[in-house]
């Protein structure tokens, strides 16, 4: 392991905006995505099926004409466990992001609301019965 390198694991949605704003371009956001994943560049390259030296040149050399393939950004984010490039692009255009709810999440919310309503009705019924007895 290299001396002085701090591996930082960042979970989805925990990237501070101020940190993202330090990225001057998409290349920097992709580099941050990889760096904050806690993975080595060779691990990311393997998962993306890219030569590690080629990936390193794509994300590290400002003067190098090689660009990261746009069609691999989704896979990169999955491999790295964060959406830094996506969030950076949204912020650059003055937009925010939020994760859409799945059909399962919506069903869970509906069922929880129904359960809460039933609990309230049960408590009300118990209160009425108690008042009638006492």
Query: What confidence score (pLDDT) does residue 63 get?
Result: 61
Query: What confidence score (pLDDT) does residue 101 get?
Result: 82
DSSP H or E segment with residue 31: helix 26-35
For residues 82 and 12, is the Cβ–Cβ distance under 8 A? yes
Query: What confidence score (pLDDT) does residue 100 get?
Result: 79
For residues 77 and 83, is the Cβ–Cβ distance under 8 A? yes
pLDDT, tens digit, 9 for 90 and up, residues 12-44: 447 788 888 889 999 999 999 999 999 999 999
Question: Which stretches in the chain have pLDDT values below 50?
Answer: 1-10, 12-13
Q: Which CATH number fits domain 17-92: 1.10.12, 1.10.150, 1.10.10, 1.10.260?
A: 1.10.260
Query: What confidence score (pLDDT) does residue 9 get?
Result: 46
Q: Which residues of 98-128 are buried (b: 16+ CB within 10 A; e: fewer)?
A: eeeeeeeeeeeeeeeeeeeeeeeeeeeeeee
């Amino acid at each position: 392991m290299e001396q002085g390198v701090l591996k930082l694991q960042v979970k989805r949605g925990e990237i501070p905006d101020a940190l993202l704003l330090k990225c001057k371009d998409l290349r920097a956001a992709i580099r941050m995505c990889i760096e904050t994943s806690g993975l080595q560049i060779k691990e990311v390259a393997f998962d993306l099926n890219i030569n590690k030296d080629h990936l390193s040149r794509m994300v590290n050399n400002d003067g190098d004409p090689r660009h990261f393939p746009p069609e691999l950004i989704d896979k990169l984010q999955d491999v790295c466990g964060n959406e830094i490039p996506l969030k950076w692009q949204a912020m650059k255009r003055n937009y925010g992001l939020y994760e859409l709810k799945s059909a399962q999440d919506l069903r869970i919310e509906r069922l929880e609301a129904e359960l809460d309503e039933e609990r309230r009705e049960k408590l009300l019924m118990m209160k009425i019965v108690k008042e009638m007895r006492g």
